[in-house]
Amino acid sequence: MGTTVTITVTGVKESRALDAIEAAFAEVARVDRLMSTYRSESQVGVLNRTGRVEAGPDLLLVLERARTISEASSGAFDITIKPLLDLFSRLFEQEERAPEPAEVEACLLRVGYRRLTVEGTLVSLPAGSEISLGGIAKGYAIDLAVAALLREGIDHALVNAGGDLYALGNREGEPWRIAVQNPRERDDLLATIPLSAMAVATSGDYERSFDPDHEYHHIIDPRTGLSARGVMSVTITASSALDADALATAVFVLGADDGLALIESLDGIEAFLITNEGTIVTSGGMNYTMLEER
C-alpha cells in the first residue's frame, strides 16, 4: 500500500508473537491484493481499467463506509479523487508546474462519489472516472491485522502503517503513547496522545507536497480540485483505523471550523488540528499532553 507496516507485540513469548504477527501481515497483504491501484489484477485495478467489477465483501464494506463518510462530510472525502491526484502528480513530475484552471475543471467532470454505483456485488464507474482507496484502505488493513492478532490470543500490540495505527491493550501496564509531529519540523514533537483499544490517523500537507512551500500537496479538495488549505495537520482518534483514516482526510479538507463541527457530531471520535498559523485546535474530548518547548 505504498508504506511500511510495523507490528509490535508485547507480553507473550517470541514464538507466539511471531506466529500472530505473521497472521496479521497476511491480512494486510490480502487488502493490498484487493485494493491497490498499482495492481492491475486487484479488484480496484479491474474497476479502474474496465469500469466495473464483481466486488467481494471486503471491498463492498470499504466502499459503503467511504460513501457514508463522503455524505457526512458534504463530499470533502471522495474516493473518486484519483483523476485529480494523477493530474497533479503528472504535471509536477513531468512539467514542474501546477494545473491550469481549465485543466482542473476538465478533471472535476470525472470526480464525484455519486458517480460510483453499487448494485448487489457489481460496482460500476462511468468512463474516465477512477477510484483511489489511499485514504481508507490502509485503515481497513490495520483493523483486519488487529482482528487477526486478537484471534491469535494477543492482548497487547501496536499496528503501525505509515503513522496510522491501532493500539491494542497497553505497554507494560501503561497506555501506548503516540506523538504528534510538528508539520514543519520533522524532529519536533508537539504532544502525545495516550491510546488503548483505539486507532489514530494523521493527514498532513507535509506528507506528500509537490512544492517546498506546501501550497500544492496530495490532499485535494474534491469539490474545488485544488489542494486543501487552512490546516497543516489533522490527527483523529477513533475506535477503528478505517474511520480514523478517512476522517483525517475529510477534516483536513473541511478545515478547522467545519471539520471540528463534523467531529463533534460523531460519537467516540476526537480531533487534534494544527492550523496554518500554527495554532492547535482540538475537539472537546481529545486526550493529549503538550510536550515542553525545547
How do residues 118-141 score in pLDDT, each as one tens digit? 999 999 999 999 999 999 999 999
pLDDT tens, 246-260? 999 999 999 999 999
Residue range 28-43: mean pLDDT, rounded: 96
- Residue 5: is its pLDDT beyond 80? yes
Distance of CA 280 to the CA centre of its chain: 21
Strands (E), 113-263: 117-119, 122-124, 157-161, 164-168, 176-182, 185-195, 198-204, 231-238
* C-alpha dist (Å) from residue 149 to 10, 144, 191, 224, 247: 11, 9, 28, 41, 25
Helix (H, G, I), strand (E, B) or coil at 52: strand
pTM beyond 0.75, yes or no? yes
223, pLDDT greater than 90: yes
* Beta carbons of 108 and 226 less than 8 angstroms apart: no
In this predicted model, what pLDDT tens digit does every residue of 151-195 receive, in sequence order? Answer: 999 999 999 999 899 999 999 889 999 999 999 888 899 999 999
Task: Please check whether residue 241 is in contact with residue 143, taking contact to mean a CB–CB distance below 8 angstroms.
Answer: yes
Percent of the chain with pLDDT over 90: 90
Cα–Cα distance between 6 and 162 in angstroms, integer?
A: 8
CA atoms within 13 A on the CB side of 4: 2
Nearest alpha carbon to residue 215 among 84, 79, 97, 86: 97
Fold category of 164-290 in CATH: T-fold (3.10.520)
